[in-house]
Amino acid sequence: MEIKLEKQGRILSGFYEGYYIKFHKDSQVTGGYYVFLLNHLTLPTDGGDFWEQDWEHLEEFVKSSEWEIEWLEDGGDVILSEPVPGVERGDQVDSAGVVVDVEVESMPVEVDEDAVRRVLSMLAEDDWSAARTGLSMLSCVPERRDFAASLMKRGDAVALYQRRVSGFAWHGGVAAFLHAIAHADVPEVVTFSFTNNEAWTCVVVADPDLQHPIGSVLIPNEKPSLVTEPGPGSCLGCTEQ
């Protein structure tokens, strides 16, 4: 099977059958190759990634996965995968499975910075890279930071953020973030977000008591093609104190 770098494809058979796949050459950091997997191109609820140190190891991994891949044209067909628990998709998606209208009932809540730091710290300990970056953001130019927090149904949170991350699905943490919300063992969640520069917003989701963090993700404030994905713990261009 031919391996095409930076091209979206759909796995017709083999390991992760039915998922979408993308091979990426990590020239700037590791020098190796990433294999990104998503169950949906614009509304991912599950996914993962694998890393191989060189082309030879990548070929061995692909061979062992027994993949048959259908390569998609840019802007090609998008097929909705498994439904998300707690989300009624009926009027929310178009024929391509893209969320076009989300009506969310939410209630504003107050979340102080100590609570935000505590939740982010717990997520960072669980290896959420967006949470580590969020902690760095909290230390950067406080007067530019803006908090927003809401209480909403878990299914509404999934639908809302599926819409917000549409078109940014290949960012590593998006699939894990949506999957964590969709499978959280609570009917309602608190979502809070903040930004302290012009490019990125850190979004955090937890249970209503803020005792059980669920997930965190970084969302670009501009078109994804215009921003560079930050590294873990990055201060995202802010002036560190």
- Whole-number Cα distances in Å, 211 to 119, 168, 180, 214: 8, 29, 15, 10
Higher pLDDT, 31 or 102: 31
Q: What are 46-71's pLDDT values in tens digits?
A: 777 788 889 999 999 999 999 999 99
Residue 25 pLDDT exceeds 80 = yes
Whole-structure pTM value: 0.59
Residue 224 burial class via C-beta count within 10 angstroms: exposed 0-12, middle 13-18, buried 19 and up: middle
Lowest mean pLDDT: which of 42-51, 111-120, 150-159, 187-196? 42-51
Work out the pLDDT band at 83, boundaries 50, 70, 90.
very low
* 164: nearest Cα among 196, 191, 189: 191
**pLDDT number for residue 171:** 55
Residue 215 has pLDDT above 80, yes or no: yes
Look at 179 and 92; give whichever has higher pLDDT: 179
| Strands across the sheet containing 106-108 | 106-108, 146-153, 188-195, 200-206, 213-220
Among residues 168, 225, 217, 215, the alpha carbon closest in space to that of 189 is found at 215
Arithmetic mean of pLDDT over the chain: 75
Predicted local confidence at residue 102, as pLDDT: 53
Across residues 190-204, what is the average pLDDT? 81
Distance (Å, whole) CA 41 – CA 168 = 9
Lowest mean pLDDT among 37-46, 71-80, 90-99: 90-99
Tell me whether residue 88 is exposed, middle or buried, using C-beta atoms within 10 angstroms of its C-beta: 0 to 12, 13 to 18, 19 or more: exposed
The token duo for 112 is 């102080």
What secondary structure does DSSP assign to 111-148, as a single string? --HHHHHHHHHHHHHTT-HHHHHHHHHHTB-GGG-EEE
94-147 confidence digits (pLDDT tens): 333 344 455 678 898 888 888 889 999 999 998 888 888 888 888 765 554 557
Structure tokens at 193: 């977000």
- Long-range contacts, stretch 208-212, CB < 8 angstroms, 24+ apart: 208/151, 210/111, 210/115, 210/118, 210/119, 212/186
DSSP one-letter code for 230: P
Q: Which residue has the tokens 């977000």?
A: 193
